[in-house]
Each structure stands twice: as C-alpha cells, then as structure tokens.
C-alpha cells in the first residue's frame, strides 16, 4: 500500500447478516449461547473498524499499530462485558502490559500465540484485514503449511472453514469454497483435495454428518442424539476430514440452509468440534473463540 492510502472500493457490508444469524443461532442452540453472546458483543466494534478502514485505510506498516490503538481497547471492553470472566480478566491484563502492538504484529507475521493473545489479535485485526481485501496480503506473512492452493489469495492465511454453494438442484451439491481464518475472504477449492496437506486420495478423505441413526455411507456419524429425536441439530453442517494429516474443517452446505452465514454457523458447531476431537482430528485453524 502507498504511504498515502486512498479509500477502498465499495463493498457490501456483511455485518447485518452476521448479527441476524448470530441472534437466531443463540436462541436456537443454548449450548452455544456463551460463545455467540461474546461474538455478538464484538460485532459493533468490528463493524465500526471495518467502516473506518474502508473510508481511510492505514498503510501496510501501520496495520498492527492502528488496530492496537483504535480497536483493541474496545475489543477488551466488550470481552469483559460479555465474555467468560477468566477471558475478560486475561484480556484486560494483556492490554495493561503494554505489548498490544507487538502481539498483533506477531499474529500478522504468523507467530504462535497463546489462546488469549490469539483471540485478541484475531478479534482486533480480522475486520481490518477483511476491509483491506486484496491489499491485506501486504501486511501478512504467508501461511507456511498446507497445500499452496489452500492459502488465501488475499492475505496468504489458512482456511477456517469450507462451504458448498447451492447448485439450484435438490440432489446436486454446489461448488466448494474455503473461507480464510485471517481476513474472511472466500475462494474456490476442489472438493477432492485436503486443504491442510494436499491429499487427493478418495479413501483418505471422509465426512462425518449428524444422523438420527446409523453411519454416513461408511464415512462416519457425528450423532450423539437419541433415535427418538425428530430432526438433527445441524442438517447443513458436516466434518470434512483427512486421515493422512488428521485435520478437518467444518463444512457448511448452503443448499440445506439458505439462511446460513458460514462464519457464524461454524462458531455454533461445538458438538461437531467435540466429536472431531474424539476421533483424533485437529481443526486446520481454530476459530475466533478457540474451537
């Protein structure tokens, strides 16, 4: 980016849809209420930052400093007000120690951070990078692991989740996209390749979906519910996994729920994450809340 940045091109704001979906899922899934309450508290802070960056983006060299000064204090305040007590106290302590800019710069550089610092960095820098769009890459290090095609084309970050577009035909799934865990950009990716290691062997790539009874075509069953239950909790979500690297992503099928907002629905998929962990799987990228 230049030393004198200019306003970015107009983009459709994603915040209203995220807010509506978060409120709907919180009412529907009590087990995800704590996570979604904190997420909803962060949204106004992140939306304000997104709008500010769209109007007057910081230079590449100033991204971490800008977010540390303009966004992080409000993120901490929202976390103290709406998050778990332990997380709020830890976040407040991190802000007081004076290393905020260094922590955020480390996350942009791909450094390993502890869960609290990672949460603060993602909550503070995510909307900034999302607003920067294709220009985000100049502020970020490339994801060092995984299949080259699985790195975000904007910022070089790793995928957070996978989603399938609606094809318009009832029995035909649409094309697959990955969504970045760093800047939230989506890009097309093959359904027959593992985003974490590049495995393309059909026998090594499995899916687990929630079923009322029985496994899914021999691939797996993320059930845990009684047979008397009429409907699955997550008919539009599944675990897409690889036995070569033992990594997985939550996958959202938009044909099964047109109201889904992938990055919000993934936050509510706690039972699927627990099931995946029981199978010895590790998520390619933990989400904002660390799951």
| Selected residue with higher pLDDT from 262 and 99 | 262
Place of tokens 């059930």: 223
pLDDT at 12: 82
Poorest-pLDDT segment among 2-6, 80-84, 217-221: 217-221
Q: Rounded to an integer, what is the distance from CA 177 to the centroid of its chain?
A: 13
pLDDT one-digit tens code per residue, 181-197: 999 999 999 999 999 99
Give domain limits for the chain. Answer: 15-138, 148-283
Q: Is 183 exposed, middle or buried (0-12, 13-18, 19+ CB in 10 A)?
A: buried
CB 116 within 8 A of CB 89: no
Average pLDDT, the chain: 89
pLDDT at 2: 42
pLDDT at 231: 77
Is the pLDDT at 225 greater than 50? The verdict is no
Mean pLDDT, residues 104-108 taken together: 95
Query: Which CATH number is 148-283 given?
Result: 3.90.1670.10
The CA distances from residue 275 to 81, 94, 180, in Å, are 30, 32, 23
pLDDT at 106: 94
Is the pLDDT at 137 greater than 60? The verdict is yes
Mean pLDDT, residues 217-238 taken together: 64
Is the pLDDT at 174 greater than 90? The verdict is no
Is the pLDDT at 214 greater than 70? The verdict is no
pLDDT at 179: 97
Quote the crossing angle between the two packed helices 33-55 and 72-82, to the nearest 10°.
160
Is the pLDDT at 3 greater than 60? The verdict is no
| Selected residue with higher pLDDT from 167 and 142 | 142
Confidence class for position 213, pLDDT limits 50, 70, 90: very low
Residue by residue, what is the 3-state secondary structure of the chain?
Answer: CCCCCCCCCCCCCCHHHHHHHHHHHHHHCHHHHHHHHHHHHHHHHHHHHHHHHHHCCCCHHHHHHHHHHHCHHHHHHHHHHHCCHHHHHHHHHHHHCCCHHHHHHHHHCCCCCCHHHHHHHHHHHHHHHHHHHHHHHHHCCCCCCCCHHHCCCCCCCCEEEEEEEECCCCCCEEEEEEEECCCCCEEECCCCCCCCCCCCCHHHEEEEECCCCCCECCCEECCCCCCCCCCCCCCCEEEEEECCCCEEEEEEECCCCCCCCHHHHHHCCHHHHHHHHHCCCEECCCCCCCC
Is the pLDDT at 1 greater than 60? The verdict is no
CB 117 within 8 A of CB 94: yes
Is the pLDDT at 149 greater than 90? The verdict is no
pLDDT at 232: 85
- Look at the alpha carbons of 76, 82, 83, 89 in this order and tell me if their dihedral is positive or negative: positive
Q: Are strands 247-253 and 237-242 parallel, antiparallel or unpaired?
A: antiparallel
pLDDT at 146: 66
Q: Is 36 exposed, middle or buried (0-12, 13-18, 19+ CB in 10 A)?
A: buried
pLDDT one-digit tens code per residue, 32-84: 999 999 999 999 999 999 999 999 999 989 999 999 999 999 999 999 999 99
pLDDT at 6: 54
Q: Rounded to an integer, what is the distance from CA 4 to the centroid of its chain?
A: 31
């Amino acid at each position: 980016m230049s030393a004198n940045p200019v306003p970015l091109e107009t983009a459709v704001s994603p915040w209203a849809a995220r807010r509506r979906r978060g409120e709907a899922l919180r009412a529907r899934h009590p087990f995800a209420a704590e996570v979604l309450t904190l997420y909803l508290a962060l949204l106004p802070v992140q939306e304000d930052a997104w709008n500010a960056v769209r109007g007057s983006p910081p230079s590449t060299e100033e991204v971490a400093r800008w977010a540390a000064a303009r966004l992080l204090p409000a993120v901490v305040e929202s976390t103290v007000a709406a998050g778990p007590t332990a997380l709020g106290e830890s976040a407040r302590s991190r802000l007081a120690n004076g290393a905020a800019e260094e922590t955020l710069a480390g996350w942009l550089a791909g450094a390993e951070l502890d869960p609290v610092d990672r949460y603060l960095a993602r909550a503070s820098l995510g909307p900034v990078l999302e607003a920067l769009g294709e220009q985000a890459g100049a502020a970020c290090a490339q994801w060092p692991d995984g299949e080259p095609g699985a790195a975000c084309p904007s910022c070089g970050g790793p995928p957070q989740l996978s989603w399938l577009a609606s094809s318009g035909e009832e029995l035909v799934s649409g094309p697959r996209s990955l969504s970045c865990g760093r800047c939230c950009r989506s890009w097309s990716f093959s359904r027959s390749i593992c985003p974490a290691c590049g495995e393309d062997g059909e026998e090594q790539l499995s899916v687990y979906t929630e079923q009322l009874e029985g496994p899914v075509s021999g691939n797996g069953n993320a059930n845990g519910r009684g047979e008397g239950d009429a409907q699955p909790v997550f008919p539009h979500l599944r675990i897409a996994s690889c036995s070569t690297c033992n990594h997985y992503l939550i996958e959202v099928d938009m044909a099964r729920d047109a109201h889904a907002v992938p990055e919000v629905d993934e936050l509510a998929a706690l039972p699927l994450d627990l099931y995946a962990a029981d199978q010895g799987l590790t998520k390619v990228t933990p989400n904002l809340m660390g799951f």
